[in-house]
Structure 1
């Protein structure tokens, strides 16, 4: 083990490993082997910023929720998600599948990632309809694909940057570039590839964003969904506030998520503490550690001291 890792008492470590295994596997979940075949690279390199960022479950949850809030602000995306997914009826499974898709895109062998993304594309090709205002939508619309990919990159990157470890401007731009191979496979060929590109996309999309009851319903569902073990439910609600706090001020105003919905100073400190601890805990059953072993690296390689 390196100086950068934390050791838990064995019973707690075993419980953590079981929780991780159930999160990314089990009944009804696609079976992905992140540890084989030996040596097959992922879409992102092992020394990438992406491999560092996506290993942290705290910032991953915060960033994922922030991305969904931005997506639900776009009426066409909101209608597609609300009318064609199982989120309202089975939110935990939907969250697990979304989390697994992120893990596969970053850590899985490239062949497995390409196969999964192809399957997702086939499902999305059937998603089409009209918003309640009568605007037609299709999940494969290039503008919507670009927005969804950009919000995901924004959320994951900024949650890690703010609540775990600050990243230099060059690292942040590198993260955006590293997302491009996966984005193109999803069909997002015009999404942001830098911080500056994100700012341009946000400015262009902002006039199209709208507050809606579904956004409040989404947050209410996540507050009560058993996504975390019972003892950690208060932290789950705090991480939802962190996701709201992460949103760009301009978007947050449009979505009518005021200061009362965000973090207090004490809450922000607690979230940062959780994020920093999570960044030092090696979960050997989780995709990041398995992917390291596939590439001939120690399971704790991503947690090495800087």
Structure 2
């Protein structure tokens, strides 16, 4: 038991570092007091995004769906630092998600504006000659929807079961941010997500980059060496939750959870909810909003 407790402390410390503020993205989530975020403080998103385990799992699953789409895959792999510096890339992407959910609205709008301007320069051709443009609303709809699905479903499967209404609410709560990014047709409920998945499914394809991405997620030192097995476990959890038709693609076969491992992932996810960290955005934002009466005390704490 002592060894397990010590490992858990090491694990939480590593998670804390992953969720800390990246250089150049400094934002104070604690003030001004009562300043609303893009996402309502009493919504389900504040609960979902407070759990670092499901955020990691859901983020990996979302990227798998994005890499299955040819235009998104080419843009991500040719115009980002995923290959060269996956740790920094994951750190900045995860923090940007925190800003979108928890930061005062004006800070989130400013960050999204910078992202949109950066994406405006990302354009080119896929290997089969199709033009792509990062700010194409069709691609933005897919990226925004897969991210919302990934974080929500990972929380639902591995932390705390959500109702159908809560899963739909996660999409509705992200509607403002989606619009700011330019995802004008992003789904605003779970049925809309299922419709978009069915519509996009014929274009999704297997590709070696998906294997390369999973290998990076398993081998990049996100967690300390003694916990590298736990890191691989979380990556397998992401593969296991991936929906069809992507789940059946050849490069994902045999990379999901093994017998009995789902319980381990759930234990990890639920344990993370019991140790909220005051130095990180969820609880800092909670303190900002508690005086307004809007905040539900359980939203960014445990389930």
TM-score under structure 1 length normalisation: 0.91
1:276 equivalent in alignment to 2:270: yes
1:73 to 68, 74, 81: 68
Cα distance per residue 1:193-212 (max 9 Å; x no partner): 11111111001101101111
- Shift of residue 281, structure 1, vs aligned partner: 1.0
Q: Which residue of 1 aligns with 2:152?
A: 157
User: For the residues of structure 2 that align with 1:22 and 1:197, how far apart are their CA atoms?
Assistant: 32
User: For the residues of structure 2 that align with 1:210 and 1:11, how far apart are their CA atoms?
Assistant: 39
Alpha carbons of 1:304 and 1:236: their partners in 2 closer, same or farther (altered >3 Å)? closer
- 1:108-257 equivalences in 2 (<5 Å): 108-254=103-249, 256-257=251-252
- Shift of residue 256, structure 1, vs aligned partner: 4.1
Alpha carbons of 1:33 and 1:9: their partners in 2 closer, same or farther (altered >3 Å)? farther
User: For the residues of structure 2 that align with 1:51 and 1:217, how far apart are their CA atoms?
Assistant: 32
User: For the residues of structure 1 that align with 2:261 and 2:272, how far apart are their CA atoms?
Assistant: 16
- 1:25-104 equivalences in 2 (<5 Å): 25-26=21-22, 28-104=23-99
Alpha carbons of 1:201 and 1:301: their partners in 2 closer, same or farther (altered >3 Å)? closer
- Shift of residue 267, structure 1, vs aligned partner: 1.1
User: For the residues of structure 2 that align with 1:10 and 1:273, how far apart are their CA atoms?
Assistant: 16
SS at match of 1:55: coil
Q: Which residue of 2 aligns with 1:5?
A: none
1:24 to 20, 26, 29: 20
Cα distance per residue 1:258-279 (max 9 Å; x no partner): 2x11112311110000001011
Deviates more, 1:134-143 or 1:12-21: 12-21
Alpha carbons of 1:277 and 1:104: their partners in 2 closer, same or farther (altered >3 Å)? same
User: For the residues of structure 1 that align with 2:116 and 2:55, how far apart are their CA atoms?
Assistant: 23
Alpha carbons of 1:276 and 1:134: their partners in 2 closer, same or farther (altered >3 Å)? same
Moved over 6 A (4+): 8-15
SS at match of 1:89: coil
Query: Once superposed, what is the RMSD of the aligned Cα atoms?
Result: 2.4
Q: Is 1:29–1:97's contact at 8 Å kept on the other side of the alignment?
A: no
Alpha carbons of 1:31 and 1:299: their partners in 2 closer, same or farther (altered >3 Å)? farther
SS at match of 2:252: coil
User: For the residues of structure 2 that align with 1:241 and 1:165, how far apart are their CA atoms?
Assistant: 19
Alpha carbons of 1:39 and 1:267: their partners in 2 closer, same or farther (altered >3 Å)? same
- Shift of residue 294, structure 1, vs aligned partner: 1.1
Q: Which residue of 2 aligns with 1:4?
A: none
Alpha carbons of 1:92 and 1:261: their partners in 2 closer, same or farther (altered >3 Å)? same
User: For the residues of structure 2 that align with 1:200 and 1:179, how far apart are their CA atoms?
Assistant: 17
Gaps of 5+ in 1: 1-7
SS at match of 1:295: helix
User: For the residues of structure 2 that align with 1:253 and 1:173, how far apart are their CA atoms?
Assistant: 26
